[in-house]
Amino acid sequence: MDKLPIYRFLVPDDDSEIGVDAVALVDYPAIEMNWQAFNSQFVIEPKAGESEDEFMGRCIPYEINNGYEQEQAAAICYSKWSKKEFAESYTDYPKAASENAKIALRWAEENGWGDCGTPVGKERANQLANREPISRDTIARMAAFERHRQNSQKELGDGCGRLMWLAWGGDEGIEWAQRKLEQIDREKFSLKFKADKEKRIISGPLMVAELPIYRKDETGEYYGVFTKTDIYNIVKKFFKNGNTHQVNMMHDSSLMVSDVYMIESFIVDSERGIYSPKGYNLTEGSWFGSFKVDNDEVWDEYVKTGKFKGFSVEGIFQTVKIDKQPKSKIEHIIDIVKNVDSTKVDAIKDILKKANIK
């Protein structure tokens, strides 16, 4: 997370107005987790740029949570990893996007990256410059980089804005990603939504505990996190104040929508037997919910088309600076995988190689 400060979004257990008062339907959720519609099943697959250890860190705990023994889970995940080269990917991004990435790399080679960019951003520049295949997730991240456009016209060397804008493909790359993402999701949703089109239910995470979320406002750039205690207080106030019908589009209070309302809500709490839903590796204390969409316009124009993909909460929060940076989700998961008996894992990998399982 580089050197950006981290703040806790604090929500006290009192009768103040601090808390979440509405849920927005958005195109790119800040928590980077999309909802699911029509009970569509989620399948864990390797992501572009993801290492074997990172994928195993996501996959093995997920499959164990689905009821598989440790050895079975490892076998399933290594089988999926072996199919990685066949994963769906795209190479039709503009040549100008590659050239923009090359400009960023040349400048960084001569002058250094300094404090600019994350490892992901630098990796993205190399991917685009080398015209490597990129996944739908990568395209979504490129499209979401639109939020940094206000800094894109600065000169190279004047802060990080122009350098990282070029690293992510520049104007041509990011505009292509927005069009491409809409095309991919339109095609995917048009197939996925045929099965149970009468349900009109969207389900997904509303808040993820301890997940650092990038923010930029008048105070500058930083990461914000919600603890499970704060999320519990938020949910309690949300229902106490009767906010289950308070839904808008893109955090615009003038775009409140009727006939979209919460029908299901729970906080992940393993001690009470409430686990992360299948398809999501949510941390303890995360908030998950489902909304019924009886509004024809919202359903037809925004959900079915894939224009909106997830939830984003809004409200009033206190902020408290955190001195110690928490472990990332990947670091936590890697710790889990390190506890898997390495000899068993190696044996499973040898079996899969000999059997040529793909």
Last residue of a domain, one of 154, 186, 218: 186
216 plus 168 within the same structural domain: no
On whether both 217 and 320 belong to a single domain, the answer is yes
Q: Which of 190, 92, 184, 191 is nearest to 134 (CA)?
A: 92
pLDDT by 10-residue block (mean), the chain, 358 residues: 73 82 80 52 59 79 72 76 62 94 94 88 92 87 90 88 94 94 71 51 89 80 88 93 94 92 93 84 91 91 84 87 57 50 55 51
CB-CB contact of 37 with 192 (8 Å): yes
Q: What local confidence, expressed as pLDDT, does residue 43 receive?
A: 56
| Element counts in the chain: helices (H) and strands (E) | 11, 12
Task: Find out whether 289 and 206 touch, Cβ atoms under 8 Å.
Answer: yes
Q: Which two tokens stand for residue 113?
A: 């990256």
Residue 163 counted as domain residue: yes
- Whether 151 and 217 map to the same domain: the answer is no
Q: How far is residue 308's CA from residue 250's CA, in Å, rounded to a whole number? A: 9
On whether both 153 and 100 belong to a single domain, the answer is yes
Residue 317 confidence (pLDDT): 85
* Structural domain count of the chain: 2
274 Cβ partners below 8 Å, 6+ apart? Answer: 266, 267, 268
In the beta sheet, which residues pair with residue 289?
204, 265
Q: Do 247 and 157 reside in the same domain of the chain?
A: no
292: which DSSP letter? E
Q: Is the CB of residue 308 less than 8 Å from the CB of residue 249?
A: yes
pLDDT for position 342: 52
pLDDT tens column, 53-93: 777 888 887 777 666 777 777 777 777 776 554 456 789 99
Tokens of 356: 């040529």
Claim to verify: residue 210 and residue 319 sit in the same structural domain:
yes
Please give the Cα distance from 86 to 88 (Å, whole number). 7
Give yes or no: residues 221 and 261 share one domain: yes
The whole-number pLDDT of residue 117 equals 85
> What pLDDT, on a 0 to 100 scale, did the predictor assign at position 110?
93
Q: Residue 84's pLDDT is what?
A: 57
> How confident is the model at residue 329, as a pLDDT?
46
On whether residue 218 sits in a domain, the answer given is yes
340 assigned to some structural domain: no
> Do 213 and 180 share a structural domain?
no
Distance CA 234, CA 241 (A): 11
Angle at 157 between CA 154 and CA 159, to 5 degrees: 65
**Residue 52 within any structural domain of the chain:** no
Angle at 310 between CA 182 and CA 293, to 5 degrees: 100
Predicted confidence at residue 216, as pLDDT, reads 79
Query: Are residue 296 and residue 269 in the same domain, yes or no?
Result: yes
- Residue 41's pLDDT is 37
| 352 in any annotated domain | no
Residues 263 and 299 in one domain: yes
Write down the pLDDT at residue 96: 96
342 within domain boundaries? no
Q: Which of 156, 186, 216 is the last residue of a domain?
A: 186
In a domain? residue 230: yes
Using the 3D structure, point to which of 186, 212, 246 is the last residue of a domain. 186
Asked if residue 202 and residue 178 are part of one domain, the reply reads no
List of residues 6+ apart from 190 with CB closer than 8 A:
304
Q: Is residue 224 part of a domain?
A: yes
Is residue 160 located within the same domain as residue 231? no
Residue 302, amino acid: Y
Domain that holds residue 243: 6-40+198-326
Given a contact cutoff of 8 angstroms between Cβ atoms, the answer to whether 288 and 204 are in contact is yes
